[in-house]
Structure 1
Amino acid sequence: MGANHTAYPRRAQRATAALAALALTGLGVSLSAPGAASADSGEPTMMMPTGGGYEPVALQAFGTAAISKAGDATVDIVVVPSAYGDDLPSRPENIALARERTAEIAAACNEVVTGTGKRCVGRLAILLNRADALNAANSAALRNPSMDGIYILGGDQGIAMKVLANSPAERAMAAAVTGGRVVLAGTSAGAAVESRSMINGYVGDYGPAQGLRRGSTLMWWGDDSDAERGLAFGSRKAIYDQHFYQRGRFGRSMSTIATADERFGGTSPVGVGADYATGVVNYGDKLLTQVFGDSGVGTIDFESLGATHRWVGTERWLSARKVKVNLMTEGTDFDLDSRRLTRNGALVGQVSGRAWSAPAAPGRGVLYLGGGILQTTKVMGSVVKDAASASPAPADARLLILSADSSSTAADYGALAKRAGWMGHIDTAVYGSASWAGVDIGRYAAVLVVAVAPPKSVAAFADARFRGLVTTAVATAPVVFADGPAAAYLGSRWSAQARPNGDDYEDKAVAAFKTTEAKWRAGTGSVAATVIPAINTDYQWGRAFNAVAVAKGQLALGVSAGAAIRLQGGAARVVDGSVVVVDGRDATTWASSNGTLGAAGLVLDTFGPGEALRR
């Protein structure tokens, strides 16, 4: 969801090789018995959900498709601004912005119409409120037989459907689109409405941090008789999400599809998430094809491997097994019926979801891997309890905080340990300070290895003396807790890339799906996996997927902020929050032409508080 009239921030305008894939002749996808065809054109429905923005590469892809529908010298495009709404006094402002977008869409079309003998014309349909939509005169352009394309602007999908549902405007669009005569595209909210069951945002103040919790998504289901749904002619086989990589929405879509599985009697639609400035063609509600734009499109499938799920803990976290995920790029096609993915015509991603075992504890004691827990005492309370149990005299026991970045980080964790009930002594050793390297690990009931800023931890993590202290602690201390970047360091590889801040969350989230983004460094290897802390709040899904692409034999462990994995002997359990395990052992992966990771046959498992990590 977006504000009702917010102009999207524009990125560098660039075309990519993906546009070439959407050539006029490239849209003639062969389908057997296309379900949405009619006598009007003999062609299937053609819809193009785009994940956000108005970048030239995406608008030109839509323009190319509209050109392919034009039977005369004019490519007629009708723009629908219903997602803007018109709460006064914003109506004049929204109309003005919609006219700008209409001109922008037509201009992008004219950039690719050269050489065809045609020209593109954009027309704005004034459909901003319910009265507009009920007045058939306002949707006259949508009934014009010369219309070749419809473009639904972004904004708020709930507002859009309150305007359009069961109106002459919706019926006019349905007649044109389901007849195969025109192509329909939409960006952001305009993509969300293209599935009949529609994601209408998060519930309340929930966001990516809560995405894997039951009820985190505000759903407008398409299987009942009320008007709270997506477009009546929208996809019934997919539920679309948008800004997918950019805003860390894998968790939201996974919990949504799990809920859909319950609602639809064990046969759920496919979750389809398009990233910013990226889209895909849904052809006849049978085939997803012709991915275009700057990034990729994810699919979430609960049916192919017989995924199971339940909800655990007081916060009802999703506990799911064998969820199949594909990352579509140019050259890939996804059959919405068989749920098979092909790349350049070859079937890929046929995996079984075979069993795996969680990494064992590397030492004699307990090892915690935290996702970033400074905002809660729950995980630290478990650490304190274990440390006290390992000490004959807890009030005299000693706890060491070994900080890789700063004294303030050490102080923050020390204060947290006290709030969580630690009654013993606390010592600190900060990398680079006096005598830090001479610490005697054997004196301590518990060692906390901590860091919050990966770039500031590079020197410590590269220093053999620091590594020696950490590995000695892991091997011999009764309790070791590593949090955030330090937890990643204990795995096979870690990334020194800076964590996102308030200004660059979205850019970093998109970048995390680029195959060269992580610039992996060797970890201690104490845990034979890649540990991804704060996968939910830092939008690090792309980092986790890239980790299994570079190390096919190992799992990626995505630990949510506020959560931890507790390893003891051969057992691994979740302490509070959620953990996502990404399995790419049998997947096929590649780098797309725009540098984004492509993948077929990733298998995800999610776990909630108290659960053992196993499949």
Structure 2
Amino acid sequence: MTTESKRGALVIIGGAEDREGDCIVLREFIRAAGGVKAHIAVMTAATGFPKEVGEEYTHIFDRLGAESVEVVHTECRADSEEPDAIHAIEHATGIFFTGGDQSKIVDFIKGTSLDKAIHKRHEKGAVIGGTSAGAAMMPDEMIVGGASVSNPSVDAVEMGPGMGFLPGIVVDQHFAQRGRLGRLLAALVLKPAVLGLGIDEDTAIIVNGDEFQVVGSGAITVVDESNATYNNLDGLLKDEAIALCDVKLHILPHGYRFNLKTHQPLL
């Protein structure tokens, strides 16, 4: 069996997922992580309220039937070297990153022993999930912040290193609700990537190998600039508008799939 076939799924959520009703998106995370045999580690690095957020997700995942839930608090880099935190990851079938500030995930975890343990577990089959900030951190180059704008400009987005679970892709969250098409397009031009994925609230993609499937009440906006013929980035000043030609766009609601290798929607 190859490393690719062993690697766990990614469940990337656009934020504001239903946590009280049917919990369709979180239910699929638990299902992918083993269902009633799932052992979940909740990562609270991004949030300013780790105790409260950790308790909330513990309650939800318990209610959905996970066998065990353990919260891993990392409020500084030293916490990511603690044996208890690494032990929790080594026994997890699903690792879930909460919302908040994605920069904290990178600042507190990236390059630490905990980071290595998380990637090792993912390579051996553990599911990595994340909502809002926990979605933004998935690529190797992530959106740190920026303006919610319809038209791209050089200063519409701020980029930085991500956690590297989904290389070559740019992810933006709360997408339709906060009008973030402009900053996703700007991100693709400033840090060239194969695809941009805009994920609506209460919506997720479940990535398995070269494909993802959409679940939830919203949609995924796929921006493909791999065959773009022109942009005017050279010579632009900070606040000037970016021009783009021949960019392809797909809107995919619940149930649709997409091949990340061929760039084709699967109907």
| Map 1:213-612 → 2, pairs under 5 A | 213-220=153-160, 229-232=161-164, 234-261=165-192, 268-284=193-209, 286-289=210-213, 291-303=214-226, 305-311=227-233, 315-343=239-267
Q: Is the 8 A contact 2:156 2:182 kept in 1?
A: no
| 2:134 alignment partner in structure 1 | 190
| 2:37 alignment partner in structure 1 | 74
- The alignment partner of 2:70 has SS state of strand
1:142 & 1:256 partners in 2: Cα distance?
32
Q: Is the 8 A contact 2:13 2:132 kept in 1?
A: yes
Q: Is the 8 A contact 2:58 2:71 kept in 1?
A: yes
Alignment match of 1:166 (pick from 96, 108, 111): 111
1:184 CA drift (Å)? 1.1
Matched residues, number:
261
Q: Once superposed, what is the RMSD of the aligned Cα atoms?
A: 2.1
Structure 1 length as normaliser, TM-score? Answer: 0.41
**Are 1:51 and 2:7 matched, yes or no?**
no
Cα separation, partners in 2 of 1:130 and 1:62, compared to 1, 3 Å: same
Q: Is the 8 A contact 1:210 1:216 kept in 2?
A: no
| Map 1:125-144 → 2, pairs under 5 A | 125-144=72-91
Q: Deviations over 1:487-531 (max 9, x none)?
A: xxxxxxxxxxxxxxxxxxxxxxxxxxxxxxxxxxxxxxxxxxxxx
| 1:95 alignment partner in structure 2 | 51
- The alignment partner of 1:194 has SS state of coil
2:8 & 2:119 partners in 1: Cα distance?
10
- The alignment partner of 2:258 has SS state of strand
Cα separation, partners in 2 of 1:63 and 1:45, compared to 1, 3 Å: closer
1:172 & 1:48 partners in 2: Cα distance?
18
1:75 CA drift (Å)? 1.9
- The alignment partner of 1:255 has SS state of helix
1:140 CA drift (Å)? 1.3
Q: Is the 8 A contact 1:260 1:269 kept in 2?
A: no
Cα separation, partners in 2 of 1:46 and 1:307, compared to 1, 3 Å: farther
1:106 CA drift (Å)? 2.9
- The alignment partner of 2:67 has SS state of strand
2:241 & 2:98 partners in 1: Cα distance?
34
1:200 CA drift (Å)? 0.6
Q: Which amino acid in the other structure matches residue 81 of structure 2?
A: L
Q: Which amino acid in the other structure matches residue 100 of structure 2?
A: G
1:230 & 1:136 partners in 2: Cα distance?
24
- The alignment partner of 1:133 has SS state of helix
2:56 & 2:257 partners in 1: Cα distance?
34
2:127 & 2:77 partners in 1: Cα distance?
24
Q: Which amino acid in the other structure matches residue 230 of structure 1?
A: G
Q: Is the 8 A contact 1:84 1:160 kept in 2?
A: no
- The alignment partner of 1:299 has SS state of strand
1:99 CA drift (Å)? 1.8
Q: Is the 8 A contact 1:84 1:128 kept in 2?
A: no
Q: Which amino acid in the other structure matches residue 276 of structure 1?
A: E
| Map 1:102-181 → 2, pairs under 5 A | 102-107=58-63, 109-110=64-65, 119-144=66-91, 147-179=92-124, 181=125
Cα separation, partners in 2 of 1:173 and 1:309, compared to 1, 3 Å: same
Q: Which amino acid in the other structure matches residue 191 of structure 2?
A: A
1:211 CA drift (Å)? 5.5
1:199 CA drift (Å)? 0.7
1:129 & 1:84 partners in 2: Cα distance?
12
Q: Is the 8 A contact 2:93 2:127 kept in 1?
A: yes
Q: Deviations over 1:228-276 (max 9, x none)?
A: x2114x1113111100111101111011111223xxxxxx320011110
Q: Is the 8 A contact 1:197 1:219 kept in 2?
A: yes
1:216 & 1:43 partners in 2: Cα distance?
38
1:99 & 1:333 partners in 2: Cα distance?
33
Q: Is the 8 A contact 1:287 1:336 kept in 2?
A: yes
1:45 & 1:101 partners in 2: Cα distance?
21
1:252 & 1:230 partners in 2: Cα distance?
17
Q: Deviations over 1:344-375 (max 9, x none)?
A: xxxxxxxxxxxxxxxxxxxxxxxxxxxxxxxx
1:275 & 1:230 partners in 2: Cα distance?
20
Task: Give ranges in structure 2 of 5+ residues lacking alignment.
Answer: none
> Which structure would you say has the larger RCO, counting Cα contacts within 8 Å and 6 or more residues apart?
2
1:128 & 1:258 partners in 2: Cα distance?
33
- The alignment partner of 1:84 has SS state of coil
**Considering only CA atoms, is the larger Rg found in Structure 1 or Structure 2?**
1
Q: Which amino acid in the other structure matches residue 104 of structure 2?
A: I
Q: Is the 8 A contact 1:49 1:279 kept in 2?
A: yes
1:210 & 1:339 partners in 2: Cα distance?
24
Structure 2 length as normaliser, TM-score? Answer: 0.90
Q: Deviations over 1:412-437 (max 9, x none)?
A: xxxxxxxxxxxxxxxxxxxxxxxxxx
1:259 & 1:74 partners in 2: Cα distance?
43
1:313 CA drift (Å)? 7.0
Q: Is the 8 A contact 1:77 1:106 kept in 2?
A: no
Q: Is the 8 A contact 1:282 1:288 kept in 2?
A: yes
